[in-house]
Amino acid sequence: MNSAVIGVGSNINPEENVSKAEQEVGLLGESLRKSGFSYTKPLGYKKQDDFLNGVFHIDTPYAYDELNDRLKEIENRLGRIRTGNKSGPRTIDLDTVVYNYQVRDADVFTRDFIRDPVTEMIPELEETLKCVNYKNHFRTVQGIIDKILSLMAASPLSVPDTDKQGRNPPETNPAGKSAYPLSVYGTGQWFGDGQKTTGSIDFLVITENAGNETEQRIKRELNRSGLGMIGSSPVNVRLFIPQELKDLPREVSGDAEIAEQPGSFAGELPLSILLYRSPGPS
């Protein structure tokens, strides 16, 4: 199952349409949770009613693109009329803003009515969403993560024994091969760690496929695609298997704080911000 946070907005019979959308979205997976909702003033086009905004969190079997297709179908069924005015009134607006812990919509950084409900649903994303530098370079960061994921999917990844024994069904990466779930963290000055003196930007990848050859291939491909440098800062990628986490330092010099993110690896990684976690057995 994939974790998805879906932004919801309506200013035409909003309470009725949000309720209908909740029922429809609930059919796309399981364990739907609803954030608090609030009315906000319209952005852009002002001559319309206030919007009712919030988010749904759902565990869904749908891949990202498939989920978005299903959301568009729900919008159509609830009477969404698409015009040239993208800021105009609407019965319902459904957008996937976070998918498997990866931010998918840059608006979440600048619009409180999206960011606050998202952090209500997934508190461990608060550091990421407050990080100004991550917001400013959102698309580049997303490009790096997408590149890492595509390279990790380029060859078969190892599957834990628990998966082979059938206790946890193996997950599938974008290339269709079995893959242990991986997590990607960002750390360094660029991500807002003001007390860290290094000028490099580090992406820490937690995966069973942490061989040196894979790590070097990722670095080569990032450089080849122009993603190995951001501004004057080099981008480094390090791969760790979960067992190696216990050997990482729990503290760093000075008074820098470790970013505590319950239920994730971040408590083991100094000054890290969770950027992506793939689906998989817990």
Could you report the per-residue pLDDT of 36-58, keeping only the tens digit for each? 999 999 887 788 889 999 999 99
Task: Say which residues have a Cβ less than 8 Å from residue 12's Cβ, sequence separation at least 6.
Answer: 49, 79, 89, 90, 91
pLDDT higher than 70, residue 274: yes
Is 90 one of the catalytic residues? Answer: yes
pLDDT higher than 80, residue 188: no
The model's pLDDT over 55-105, given as tens digits with 9 standing for 90+, comes to 999 999 999 999 999 999 999 999 887 776 777 788 999 999 999 888 888
Which among 59, 65, 82, 95 is annotated as catalytic? 95
Instruction: Output the pLDDT for position 199.
Output: 63
Counting DSSP H helices and E strands in the chain, the numbers are 9, 13
Round to whole Å and give the CA distance between 252 and 194: 13
pLDDT band for position 268 (cuts 50, 70, 90): very low
- Residues 204-209: what's their mean pLDDT? 78
Share of the chain above pLDDT 90, in %: 30
Which among 49, 59, 93, 105 is annotated as catalytic? 93
Is 220 one of the catalytic residues? Answer: no
Instruction: Output the pLDDT for position 248.
Output: 55
Write down the domain spans for the chain: 2-121, 130-277
- pTM check: above 0.85: no
Which architecture does CATH list for 2-121? 2-Layer Sandwich (3.30)
Whether the Cβ atoms of residue 149 and residue 183 lie closer than 8 Å to each other:
no
Instruction: Output the pLDDT for position 127.
Output: 81
Q: What angle do CA 78, 111, 51 make, to 5 degrees?
A: 35
Instruction: Output the pLDDT for position 279.
Output: 63
Where do we find the tokens 């606050």?
116
Which among 49, 65, 77, 90 is annotated as catalytic? 90
Which among 80, 111, 217, 238 is annotated as catalytic? 80
Q: Which of 60-74, 162-176, 201-215 is predicted with the least confidence, judged by mean pLDDT? A: 162-176
H-only helix segments in the chain:
14-26, 64-77, 107-110, 112-121, 126-130, 132-136, 138-152, 161-164, 212-224
Where do we find the tokens 């070097």?
216
Mean pLDDT of the chain: 76
Residue 160 burial (10 A CB sphere; 0-12, 13-18, 19+): middle
Question: 257 or 273: whose pLDDT is higher?
Answer: 273
